[in-house]
Amino acid sequence: MYNVARGEMEMTWKFSWHGATLVLACVFLATAPFAAAQVPTGQAPPHKAHPPATPQSIAQGKMIFDGTCAVCHGVDGGGANGPNIQGAARTMGPEGLYNRVWGGVIGSGMPNFSYLGEDKIWDVVDYVGTLGQATGAAATGDPQKGKEAYQSSGCASCHSIDGRGGDSGPDLSDIGSERSASFLRDELLNPGANKPNGEPGLPSRAAYGGYRMYRVTLANGKVATGTRVNESSFSLQLRDAHGNIISVDKLKARSIEELPNESFMPSYKGKLSEAQLNDVVAYLASLEVRR
Ligand code: HEC
Ligand code: HEC
């Protein structure tokens, strides 16, 4: 009798194990399509309200930002492959920032960081709120005078704004929302130094790979310098300073070297006065497309 009872107990135990597995399998099957539909889209699921920022949360957020975000947004948030986010806390608010960090931006270079979890996302939000508060981050010049200096300095021969201008350099129609004032100033003084590598990043910057400069010594000893327009295993097409396309047979070239810090853009150091420089930066910073 004892044995029978024991046998029965074992039966029950085994049965419920199977039952549990079955229930789990059903739950999994039922929720799998649902889980797939739950890929972050920018609208975070319910989460706790923004805890007040503290020096600790900001310090924590800085560590995460430096290790995770700075590669695309720049150490000061002023923009690199990703846009300038120094003003993001102001325009998006903490809740908007939380959603953006949690869900990323589908179809862009902005990944989703839902894996960080609520606490760490709030820490990053607190740190992003402090970006750009350093002195000198804001553009102080006169945008109207800057526009005149832009027009008289030949910038438009290489750059387009709202569809007008050249195409040897990147389009600047949206540059104010992509770059901080300090980045823009540095670009005018040291072009090429901050060249984003173009991947992954803003869709509008995907063409940045095309601004990489190369110097090629051809078989006959001639030297050609240009930006890389196209490349395959056997050939490299460069565009020189005059817009001519030079096709290089890679197997025959004596040497091909990349010039990481060079750009066709001339430096405006000493060519624009300090006041003009501030004005041009203010003009560029004002070029924003509302997103
Ligand atoms: C791999 C590159 C990359 C990384 C890493 C990255 N971002 Fe982004 N981020 C982008 C790009 C590209 C966009 C622009 C997306 C768009 O709207 O097209 C963006 C957009 C944003 C925006 C919205 C800006 C606006 O004005 O719309 C915020 C805020 C932001 N990122 C914060 C962060 C934070 C915080 C981190 C780190 C946790 C981070 N990003 C990591 C590339 C990146
Ligand atoms: C001869 C062509 C040329 C001229 C003239 C020129 N640029 Fe550029 N510019 C470029 C190229 C090429 C790049 C991309 C490579 C780099 O970052 O240096 C660039 C990059 C930039 C960038 C950075 C864009 C970004 O997304 O980071 C800014 C801002 C800029 N130029 C502004 C100006 C202004 C303002 C002037 C005039 C005062 C000017 N440029 C004159 C060719 C030019």
Nearest CA to ligand 1 atom 34: 69
157 C-beta closer than 6 A to ligand 2: yes
Judged by average pLDDT, the poorest of 2-11, 53-62, 102-111, 268-277 is: 2-11
Phi-psi region of 246 (alpha: psi -120 to 50; beta: other; left: phi over 0): beta
Alpha-carbon torsion 242, 247, 252, 253, what sign? positive
Ligand with an atom nearest the CA of residue 181: 2
Q: Distance from the CA of 110 to the center of ligand 2, in angstroms?
A: 24
Residue 165, pLDDT score: 94
Per-residue pLDDT for 164 more than 90? yes
Percent of the chain at pLDDT > 90 equals: 44
Which of 68, 73, 99 to mutate for ligand 1's pocket (most ligand atoms within 8 Å of CB)? 73
**CB within 8 A of 75, min separation 6: which ones?**
66
Residue 34, pLDDT score: 41
Ligand with an atom nearest the CA of residue 201: 1
280 C-beta closer than 6 A to ligand 2: yes
Ligand with an atom nearest the CA of residue 104: 1
Asked if 253 and 243 touch (Cβ cutoff 8 Å), the reply is no
Of residues 134 and 15, more confidence is placed in 134
Residue 41, pLDDT score: 58
Nearest CA to ligand 1 atom 42: 110
Please give the biggest Cα pair distance in the chain. Answer: 104
Asked if 202 and 83 touch (Cβ cutoff 8 Å), the reply is yes
Q: Which residues' Cβ are closer than 6 Å to ligand 1?
A: 68-69, 71-73, 81-83, 85, 88, 97, 100-101, 105, 108-111, 113, 124, 128, 200-202, 291
192 C-beta closer than 6 A to ligand 2: yes
Token pair 């100033």 is found at: 185
- pLDDT grade for 174, boundaries at 50, 70 and 90: confident
Per-residue pLDDT for 253 more than 90? yes
Mean pLDDT of 161-177: 88
Q: Residue 94's CB: how many other CB atoms inside 10 A?
A: 16
Alpha-carbon torsion 248, 250, 251, 255, what sign? positive
170 C-beta closer than 6 A to ligand 2: yes
Alpha-carbon torsion 97, 135, 201, 149, what sign? positive
Q: How far is CA 231 from CA 215, 247, 251, in A?
A: 14, 10, 13
- pLDDT grade for 60, boundaries at 50, 70 and 90: very high
Which of 158, 160, 161, 283 to mutate for ligand 2's pocket (most ligand atoms within 8 Å of CB)? 158
> Which atom of ligand 1 is the closest one to the Cα of 65?
37
Tell me the per-residue pLDDT of 111-157, one tens digit each, with 9 for 90 and over: 999 999 999 999 999 999 988 765 445 678 999 999 999 999 999 99
Residue 266, pLDDT score: 93
Q: How far is CA 75 from CA 46, 56, 112, 183, 218, in A?
A: 30, 19, 19, 11, 39
Q: Distance from the CA of 247 to the center of ligand 2, in angstroms?
A: 24
Ligand with an atom nearest the CA of residue 64: 1
Residue 1, pLDDT score: 40
132 CB burial (10 A radius; 0-12, 13-18, 19+) = buried
On the CB side of 137, CA atoms within 13 Å amount to 16
Residue 290, pLDDT score: 53
Omega prior to 200 cis, within 30 of 0: yes
Token pair 């006169």 is found at: 142
Tell me the per-residue pLDDT of 188-244, one tens digit each, with 9 for 90 and over: 999 887 665 554 555 555 555 668 889 999 989 999 999 888 888 999 999 888 888
Distance CA 34, CA 18 (A): 25
Tell me the per-residue pLDDT of 255-266, one tens digit each, with 9 for 90 and over: 999 888 888 899
Selection from 123, 136, 155, 153 nearest residue 287 by Cα: 155
47 CB burial (10 A radius; 0-12, 13-18, 19+) = middle
199 CB burial (10 A radius; 0-12, 13-18, 19+) = exposed
